[in-house]
Amino acid sequence: MRYLFENCALDTDRRELRRGAELVAIPPQVFDLLDYLIRNREHVVSKDDLINAIWKGRIVSETALTTRLNAARSAIGDSGEQQRLIKTLPRKGFRFVGLVREAQGGGGAATADNPGQPPKPALALPDKPSIAVLPFTNLSSDPEQDYFADGMVDDITTALSHFKALFVIARNSSFTYKGRSVDVKQVGRELGVRYVLEGSVRKSANRVRITGQLVDTATGAHLWADRFDGGLSDVFDLQDQVTESVVGAIAPAVEKAEIERAKRQPTESLDAYALYIRGLARLYQFNRQANEEASHLFNRAIELDPDFASAYGRAAYCYVYAKANGYFAITPDEIAKMTRFAQRAVELGKDDAIALATSGYALMYVACDLWEGATLIDRALGLNSNSAEAWSNGGWAKNWLGEPEAAIERFERAMRLSPVDLTAGRMRSGTAYAHFLLGHYDEAASWAAIALQDNPDLQPALRQAAASHAMAGRADQAHKAMARLRQLNPTLRISNLRDVLGPYQHTEDFARYADGLRRAGLPE
């Protein structure tokens, strides 16, 4: 087993610890102590537990235990003062609190900051009922109806996520299983959920049939199954019935009033909603042409349904990707257009977490209205604490407000809610930037490298890699990242850097980042 955390990899089969590409020599007892703490990271480990596990119950002094703990911390870049990874709880014991990813065997020199292929996380179950809604199978002969099936899953996921008694995996992670034959037990391990909802949609003429089944991922047992038939005019009522049945199966204590509050129709127009779903599919392709197509689709959805709050929020969000990647110049006219979309999303979506989170982030990043944007994102989190997107956007808000510790906590929450998210690069690059603000340049470079695994051209991550390596004194790696960044965005300069970066509460944060990029080779 290999445990990956920050820029470290602990290989229990080879009994090796690596930090970055470096093999760290540690005594056998220190290795065993690290292994024991990481394997038991879900709870506090007492001194007696450690003595029994490492010294097999032999009598050892307090000094010996403290010495081994200090050596373990030093080996992984932690310290007794920071306690960033190994935390001491007075009169209780110790706990490994770092974010850990697990990979099976082998791996050679692969480490947490460059593991080759990203490992599938083996996640512990949350302390409340947890569920992932997998993509529904389209049983219609028309492949265009994939969008309809995807929309059904999106709405069911959204409705379930409003229940604070449930832990709901975000849509982007669930949809990585689309078109694949899956083992629900494996899905449960990879997403860290106890239950999986599977289903199918058959749409013919003006009728629709939705089937669903709830599966226990630990045993593979079917806990619930049902079928719903109706006309297209009743499709959202059918969705609500599916949602009610699933919630009733896994959380019978949830009151009917909560179920009623969770019933939401994002739009009365199926045509507009289909356009919205297609826009999302384009948005997540992360390139200039796809971003332009997504913007067009969201605008068409708005034309068909002028009260579609989330479509306005997504239309505003297209400007975020354009600014972050230099797709076109963000002129005052473009900012005004984006602001109109965002404000309309807020007006129409006062209780719509996605509308608030997307429009808030766009106002913050594109219009540099930091406080208004941060307030809207906090409102979104109050409405839906299961929104990985809102937590991720909120992490960036905390970065720009100069609160990197809080940012890291928000990104961790986002990544836990959606472990295999299509937008995971944003979460990881945000974590990298938070570490940069804290002066943890090695950790920042490590997270930037992880962000670049899925998308080697992610410009925010390239900027963070360049600046972090430069500040850590690794000129060659800094220049390499900068060379790729300048290929993608040749007009980027120190003088126009503020046009690409977000708002800053503290000018010294911007100044240090600019200095890192300057050292990496970004011209004035």
SS (H, E, C) 246-282: HHHHHCCCCCHHHHHHHCCCCCCCHHHHHHHHHHHHH
For 91, left (φ over 0), alpha (ψ -120 to 50), or beta? left
CATH number 3.20.20.80 given to 416-524: no
Residues facing 24 on adjacent strands: 17
**CA 138, CA 396: separation in Å to the nearest integer?**
37
pLDDT, position 138: 83
Domain with CATH 1.10.10.10 in the chain: 2-103
CB neighbours of residue 476 within 10 Å: 7
CATH number of the domain at 2-103, please? 1.10.10.10
pLDDT, tens digit, 9 for 90 and up, residues 80-134: 877 888 988 888 889 898 878 777 654 433 333 333 344 444 577 776 677 888 9
Domain with CATH 1.25.40.10 in the chain: 266-385, 416-524
pLDDT, position 460: 92
**CATH assignment of 266-385, among 1.10.10.60, 1.10.730.10, 3.40.50.10600, 1.25.40.10:** 1.25.40.10
pLDDT, position 118: 45
pLDDT, position 263: 40
User: Can you tell me the mean pLDDT for 307-318?
Assistant: 93
Confidence of residue 447 (pLDDT cuts 50, 70, 90): very high
**Which of 264, 282, 472 is closest to 383 using CA atoms?**
264
pLDDT, tens digit, 9 for 90 and up, residues 257-305: 222 433 444 555 557 877 888 888 888 888 889 999 999 999 999 999 9
pLDDT, tens digit, 9 for 90 and up, residues 414-432: 887 777 777 889 999 999 9
pLDDT, position 151: 77
pLDDT, position 405: 96
| Start-end of H helices in 128-176 | 146-161, 171-174
- Name the most confidently modeled range: 73-82, 126-135, 181-190, 329-338: 329-338
The highest-level CATH class for domain 130-265 is: alpha beta
pLDDT, tens digit, 9 for 90 and up, residues 190-223: 898 878 888 888 877 777 787 878 787 877 877 7
